[in-house]
Structures are given as structure tokens and as C-alpha cells.
């Protein structure tokens, strides 16, 4: 297992299984430490959050993670207010910011941007999303969520429901779950199924997965249901969207058919796909999922800075 | 049967996958305008069933072009002809990582906007023997 100190986090595929489990251990250690002690872990260190496209949740989660480790944060939240708008290249931005900070978390609309940035950076770069390509910190946070909530990944029966074509969180998460022996079922409206390259990689990894049409009874044998947003613009017509969206709503009534301990997850933000009447139920794991995501980002920052073993 | 004439100086590109010759000709835009080129497509071949052949007079090839030729048709053989004789004959090796030679076709790939980035492609072989060229930045697979 390689050391995380100084390392870039671009794709979960770059991480060995035991390295992922080590990050989970670090996340646990930081939580066990308590807030007062954790505030000294990255004291004096600086995180740069470089967000070329808006993302409230991921950016705030990174910034909160660094504050909770006692570090400082600088950065930008949209390209328009930066030297990028004056034509500065990604390489120049990264090399300059690397002089001002100790670690970079970035989001960029173009695919492969985080990898490109890492080739110009002398400090660790963490990919906070590169276009529709990868979102490794979401995946690691989701993995941590399952381990905390269910205690295992192997043999878990996980359903994915919603737009599975454009949802990058599902693509990276499914590929990682395949490594841990989870059983996956994909439910998507016609035309929004998982892309062919994801299906290919799951098949070549020998993953246990099925693609099915969503019915009310589909929920019955699931341990976890991971829901994603159905975006109106992905449908051919408004009529098609309206026809489809109601059949993909998870509400209290739908949950009455599920196992009593089914865990409902969602990468957030949600629209109408999970009814608010689910929120008070213990099955609603999506806000806890956001908290585990924050805790995993704390672990990643601390590990890549080399301030924890 | 179509006849391909001998050349005195230049290159002979043989064992090209049938139909790919037209793509290979695009690597020689200057020569297409100023020198003699013979191009035969879907020629009978004992080893390949059918193949393309190209002969270009008075041209040299550099290592980057050799690699591009091999990436377009891994079966290609390249003969350098000097004074009517074959001076050398080769099948270029394809490394597992090819840099600065190919261009990603994903319109959302970072290499298209940040043009100073040198392209990088992981090259491997599919189970059916076809070459697979995957962008190291965005993972897009190009044809």
C-alpha cells in the first residue's frame, strides 16, 4: 500500500482496495478524536478550492472539512471572477496556486481536467468533479456511508434508480462496488440507462449486476436504494418527462413495500424524486450521507497532506 | 488485376488493413500535391485475405509518422526504397502509452481547450484483436 502523503486523488480506480479501507480507518480515527483534537490536525495548512463551475455542496463540504481540521481555505467558486476569464491557462493557475497553498480541491467542467492539473502541480490535487467524468470524493463518501450504516459492502443488494446515463456518481460508485462484491440492480427510464463503457467495465470486472424496469415491487428485496435526479432536459419531451417522473418517486407508501431497514441514499440536491415525507424516517440516509462525505473529505485532506499516518 | 509500379526512391506501405489506406493518405498532405502515389485498395492477400497497398515516391518518414501509421493499421509493413532496392523493412512497435501523436475526439476533453497539453493515449488490444486507444485524460476511446 502506497503512502497518501503528497498524492493526487483523481480517480478511485487509482486506489487499491486496502487503500480505500485505510481511508475509512482514517475517517473513523478523526471522528473518534473529537472536534477539539481534530482542529489541530492540519493547523497552519492551506486548502485551495478552485471551482471553475458552481457547486455549492461539494465546495462547502471541502471547506468545512479543512476548517474542522484546523486549516485555512482560499479559492474561487466560478471562473468569471478569476484570471481564467482573462485567458489564463489551467497549468498557470495550478502552478501559481500551488505557491499559495498546501493542497488543492478542484472542480472543472471539462473531462480530464483534474488529471491535467495534477501533471502541473507540486502539491496534491483532489478531483471534486471533472465534467461528467469522475467524482471520486463522492464515491469514497458513499462507500464510507454504506460501511457505517450497513457494516459491509459484500453481498449488499443495491438498487440505483433515476438518470443513470448522465449521473457520474453512479458510474464511479458502481465500478467501486463491483470490487467489493455488492449485488447491483439498475433501474432507469428508457434512454437513460448506464452508458456502454460502464456496462463493459462492470462485465469485465465480473460484477454481479442486472438492468431492470422499475416497478413498485422492485424495492422489496433491496438493502439500499440509491436515487438520482431525473432532469427534465434529458427527456425528449415535457410530456415524456411528466409521464415518467411520477413512477420514479420514492415516498412513504413505496417504502411500505421495502425491507424495514432499507437505506435510501441520494447524492443531493434532490428535486421531487424522494418525497419529503420520507425525511423523518430512519431509512432516509441522504443527509447522513452528506455528513459522511464531509468526514471522508477530512480523511482525504489529512492523508494527502501527510498529517496522519 | 491492378498493377502497382515499382518505385526507385520512396516508401512502400504494405499489409494495410483493407479500407484504411484512405486514412493513411491523409498523413501525407504535401506529397498528395507534388509526388507520384500509387494506392490500391482491397487487393487479394494470402495472409490477410484483402489489404491496401500504398507507394509514395521521394518521401521520408520520421518516427512520429511511423507510429501514426502503426496506430492506424497495426499490421502495416513499411519498406524504405533507395535506388530501386529495399534499404529497410519494418513493422513499428506500438508502446502502451502514446504521447503527442493522437487527438482526442471527445468535445468535452480538457486537451481540446488547453491545447498546450500533450495528448496521451493508453493503447491496448481488445479480445477480438482490434486496437483500443483510450485518452489518459478523459478515458474516451477513439476509433
Contacts of A133 in chain B (CB under 8 A): 138-139
Rg (CA), chain A: 19
Contacts of A108 in chain B (CB under 8 A): 110
Closest chain B residue by Cα to residue A114:
B137
Mean pLDDT score of chain B: 91
| Chain A residues touching chain B at CB-CB below 8 Å | 89-91, 108-113, 115-116, 130-133, 197
Q: Do residues B8 and B45 lie in contact, with contact meaning Cβ atoms separated by under 8 Å?
A: no
The ipTM is: 0.87
Q: How far is A135 from chain B (nearest CA, A)?
A: 13
- Which residues have C-beta within 8 Å of that of residue A4, sequence separation ≥ 6? A19, A22, A23, A303, A304, A306
pLDDT digits (tens, 9 = 90+) for A176-199: 999 999 999 999 988 889 988 789
Nearest by CB to B116, from A89, A130, A132: name it: A89
Whether B140 and chain A come into contact, CB under 8 Å, resolves to yes
**Which residues in chain B are contacts of A115 at CB distance < 8 A?**
110, 136-137
Contacts of B111 in chain A (CB under 8 A): 112, 116
The C-alpha cell of A134 is what? 469522475
Measured CA to CA in angstroms, residue B35 lies from A190, A207, B7, B31, B105 at distances of 54, 55, 12, 5, 31
Q: Over range A55-67, report the average pLDDT.
A: 95
DSSP-assigned beta bridge partners for residue A158: A184, A224
Mean predicted confidence (pLDDT) in A213-223: 93
pLDDT tens per residue across span A99-136: 999 999 999 999 999 999 999 999 999 999 998 889 99
Q: Do B135 and A112 touch (CB under 8 A)?
A: yes
Residues of chain A contacting residue B139, judged by C-beta atoms under 8 Å apart: 111-112, 133, 197
**What is the fold of A136-290?**
Rossmann fold (3.40.50)
B27 or A82: which leads in pLDDT: B27
The mean of the pLDDT values for chain A is 93
Minimal Cα distance from A132: which residue of B? B108
Q: Which residues of B touch A131 (CB under 8 A)?
A: 108, 138
Report d(CA A96, CA A86) in Å as an integer. Answer: 15
Q: Where exactly does CATH 3.40.50.1370 map onto chain A?
A: 12-134+292-305, 136-290
State pLDDT tens for residues A241-296.
777 777 788 999 999 999 999 999 999 988 889 999 999 999 999 999 999 999 99
Q: Do A90 and B110 lie within an 8 Å CB cutoff?
A: yes
Task: Give the residue from chain B lying closest to A116, CA to CA.
Answer: B137
Instruction: Specify the 3-state DSSP secondary structure of B82.
Output: strand
Q: Are B133 and B98 in contact (CB under 8 A)?
A: yes
Where do we find the cell 433501474? A187
Global model pTM greater than 0.95: no
What is d(CA B82, CA B64) in angstroms, rounded to the nearest whole number? 21
Closest residue to A110, CB basis, from B108, B116, B136: B108
C-alpha to C-alpha distance for A145 and A93, rounded to whole angstroms = 34
Nearest CA in chain B to A87: B114
Give pLDDT, residue B1: 46
Using a 10 angstrom Cβ sphere, with 0-12 exposed, 13-18 middle and 19 or more buried, the burial of residue A181 is middle
Q: Count of A–B CB contacts within 8 Å?
A: 50
Q: Give A130's contacts in chain B (Cβ within 8 Å).
A: 110, 138
* B116 inside 8 A of chain A by CB: yes
Distance of alpha carbon B32 from its chain centroid, rounded? 15
Contact A11, A127 (CB under 8 A): yes
Dump pLDDT digits (tens) for B66-120. Answer: 999 999 999 999 999 999 999 999 998 999 999 999 999 999 999 999 999 999 9
| B2 pLDDT more than 70 | no
How large a percentage of chain A has pLDDT more than 70? Answer: 98
CATH tag for A12-134+292-305 (out of 3.50.50.60, 2.160.10.10, 3.30.70.1380, 3.40.50.1370): 3.40.50.1370
- Chain centroid offset of residue A201 CA: 19
Amino acid at each position: 500500500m502506497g503512502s497518501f502523503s503528497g498524492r493526487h486523488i483523481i480517480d478511485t480506480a487509482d486506489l487499491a482496495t486496502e487503500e480505500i479501507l485505510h481511508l475509512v480507518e482514517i475517517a473513523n480515527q478523526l471522528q473518534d478524536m473529537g472536534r477539539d483534537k481534530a482542529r489541530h490536525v492540519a493547523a497552519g495548512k492551506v486548502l485551495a478550492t478552485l471551482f471553475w463551475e458552481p457547486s455549492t455542496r461539494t465546495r462547502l463540504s471541502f471547506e468545512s472539512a479543512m476548517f474542522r481540521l484546523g486549516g485555512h481555505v482560499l479559492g474561487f467558486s466560478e471562473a468569471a471572477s478569476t484570471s481564467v476569464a482573462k485567458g489564463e491557462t489551467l497549468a498557470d493557475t495550478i502552478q501559481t496556486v500551488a505557491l499559495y497553498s498546501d493542497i488543492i480541491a478542484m472542480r472543472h467542467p471539462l473531462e480530464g481536467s483534474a488529471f491535467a492539473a495534477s501533471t502541473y502541480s507540486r502539491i496534491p490535487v483532489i478531483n471534486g468533479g471533472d465534467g461528467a467524468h469522475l467524482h471520486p470524493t463522492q464515491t469514497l463518501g458513499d462507500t464510507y456511508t454504506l460501511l457505517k450504516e450497513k457494516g459491509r459492502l459484500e453481498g449488499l443488494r443495491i438498487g440505483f434508480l433515476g438518470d443513470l446515463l448522465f449521473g457520474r456518481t453512479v458510474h464511479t460508485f458502481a465500478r467501486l462496488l463491483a470490487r467489493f462484491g455488492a449485488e447491483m440492480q439498475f433501474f432507469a427510464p428508457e434512454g437513460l440507462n448506464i452508458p456502454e463503457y460502464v456496462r463493459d467495465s462492470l462485465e469485465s470486472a465480473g460484477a454481479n449486476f442486472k438492468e431492470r424496469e422499475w416497478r413498485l415491487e422492485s424495492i422489496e428485496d433491496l438493502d439500499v436504494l440509491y436515487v438520482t435526479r431525473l432532469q427534465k432536459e434529458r427527456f425528449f419531451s415535457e410530456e415524456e418527462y411528466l409521464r415518467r417522473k411520477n413512477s420514479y418517486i420514492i415516498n412513504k407508501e413505496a417504502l411500505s413495500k421495502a425491507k424495514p431497514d432499507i437505506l435510501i441514499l441520494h447524492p443531493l440536491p434532490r428535486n421531487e424524486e424522494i418525497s419529503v415525507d420520507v425525511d423523518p424516517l430512519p431509512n432516509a440516509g441522504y443527509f447522513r450521507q452528506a455528513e459522511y462525505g464531509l468526514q471522508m473529505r477530512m480523511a482525504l485532506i489529512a492523508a494527502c497532506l501527510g498529517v496522519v499516518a | 488485376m491492378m498493377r502497382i509500379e515499382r518505385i526507385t526512391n520512396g516508401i512502400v506501405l504494405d499489409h494495410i488493413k483493407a479500407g484504411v489506406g484512405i486514412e493513411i493518405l491523409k498523413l501525407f498532405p504535401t506529397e498528395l500535391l507534388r509526388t507520384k502515389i500509387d494506392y490500391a485498395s482491397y487487393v487479394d492477400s494470402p495472409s490477410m485475405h484483402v489489404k491496401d497497398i500504398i507507394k509514395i515516391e521521394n518521401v521520408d518518414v520520421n518516427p512520429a509518422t511511423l507510429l501514426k501509421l502503426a496506430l492506424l493499421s497495426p499490421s502495416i509493413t513499411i519498406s524504405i526504397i533507395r535506388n530501386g532496392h529495399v534499404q529497410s523493412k519494418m513493422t513499428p512497435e506500438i508502446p502502451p502509452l502514446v504521447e503527442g501523436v493522437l487527438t482526442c475526439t471527445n468535445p468535452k476533453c480538457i486537451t481540446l481547450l488547453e491545447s498546450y497539453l500533450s495528448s496521451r493515449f493508453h493503447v491496448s488490444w481488445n479480445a477480438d484483436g482490434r486496437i483500443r486507444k483510450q485518452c489518459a485524460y478523459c478515458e474516451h476511446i477513439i476509433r
